[in-house]
Amino acid sequence: MPALLYMIVVTQVPFLVTLWYSFRGWNSLVPGSNKFVGFSSFSTVLSDPMFRQAALVTVEMTASAVILSMLLGTTLAILINRKFRGRGIVRTMLITPFLVIPVATGLLFQTTIYGSYFGILDWIVSWFGISQVTWASTYALPSVVAVLVWEWTPFMMLIVLAGLQSESLEALEAAGVDGANAFQTFVSITFPHLRRYIELGLLLGSIYIVQTFGEIFILTQGGGGNGNGTTNFAYYIYKQVANADNYSLGAAAGVIVVIATEIIAAFALRLLSGLFQATEGT
């Protein structure tokens, strides 16, 4: 099993080393600081108001992006699950946002969409007599969330669509024969069937969106609000390592992030294991 060995080396070793550094006081700008300091990096990180804010920002950003993109994605999945002219083209258009490089997405929104004077959004709000909003700095968090929703809606749409298409036609026909209207059929048959697909989409989406970095790097550099309004965990670690050269604080923050993500992942795994047994019929 070379794959297993490789996985252990590449994924587990760095985490062990992260753990090791997190107990040391290493700041690359301070000579001799690379020594054992116990839990002091953890207490520094946990008592750092910026880290606590980063935790809050991560939760807010992830939850709103995941929920909104799921709502939009489900709507779109239901819409394109019908037969209509140009369905293939519409689906092609809809999956595109997911394929664009996140950094490019960030740049595109920063310039041609959110840009002041010449951006599309400024042009649209000018119809309503509002002029010149510096979107990415005035509304930092909503701007980033909007970009994330744009990117992740196709992902949610495709997962829900897979659910819709796996629905048994017999159940739907039986409901039709029993005189259920479209709404009743959706509530009593389609939704329960879709539920685990929606759950899977929400969990996988959360795991990816928690790690958002490129969009923030481009759009707001973690700013907004009181100056750190869009600094999530990933950006916090980046700031600690790249700007403050504080490797141990970055490592300690990393350990905390891993623990937090594993809690979500545990739910995801349990759900997947259920789906997995269902599709295998074991």
Binder among 95, 125, 172, 180 for other proteins (CB under 8 A): 95
Which residues fall within 8 angstroms of residue 233, CB to CB, at 6 or more apart? 54, 55, 58, 210, 253, 257, 260
Binder among 44, 48, 214, 223 for other proteins (CB under 8 A): 214
Q: Label each residue of the chain as H, E or C.
A: CHHHHHHHHHHHHHHHHHHHHHCECCECCCCCCCCECCCHHHHHHHHCHHHHHHHHHHHHHHHHHHHHHHHHHHHHHHHHCCCCCCHHHHHHHHHHHHHCCHHHHHHHHHHHHCCCCCCHHHHHHHCCCCCCCCHHHHCHHHHHHHHHHHHHHHHHHHHHHHHHHCCCHHHHHHHHHCCCCHHHHHHHHHHHHHHHHHHHHHHHHHHHHCCCCHHHHHHCCCCCCCCCCCCCHHHHHHHHHHHCCEHHHHHHHHHHHHHHHHHHHHHHHHHHHHHHHHHHCC
Binder among 50, 97, 133, 139 for other proteins (CB under 8 A): 97
Q: Per rule CB under 8 A, is residue 257 in the interface with other proteins?
A: yes
Q: How far is the CB of 152 from other proteins (least distance, A)?
A: 11
Q: How far is the CB of 174 from other proteins (least distance, A)?
A: 21
Q: Per rule CB under 8 A, is residue 51 in the interface with other proteins?
A: no
Q: Per rule CB under 8 A, is residue 276 in the interface with other proteins?
A: yes
Q: Interface with other proteins by CB under 8 A: which range of 17-25, 43-51, 170-178, 185-193? A: 17-25
Q: Per rule CB under 8 A, is residue 101 in the interface with other proteins?
A: yes
Q: How far is the CB of 238 from other proteins (least distance, A)?
A: 8
Residues 217-256 as x/- pattern, contact with other proteins by CB under 8 A: xx--------------xx--xx--xx----x--xx-xxx-
Q: How far is the CB of 41 from other proteins (least distance, A)?
A: 11
Q: Determine contact, residues 38/215, Cβ cutoff 8 Å.
A: no
Rg (CA), the chain: 23
Q: How far is the CB of 235 from other proteins (least distance, A)?
A: 9
Binder among 30, 71, 92, 188 for other proteins (CB under 8 A): 92
Binder among 113, 144, 145, 194 for other proteins (CB under 8 A): 113
Size of residue set near other proteins by CB under 8 A: 100
Q: Per rule CB under 8 A, is residue 23 in the interface with other proteins?
A: no
Q: Per rule CB under 8 A, is residue 275 in the interface with other proteins?
A: yes
Binder among 49, 82, 169, 243 for other proteins (CB under 8 A): 82
Binder among 204, 222, 231, 239 for other proteins (CB under 8 A): 204
Q: Interface with other proteins by CB under 8 A: which range of 35-43, 172-180, 184-192, 196-204? A: 196-204
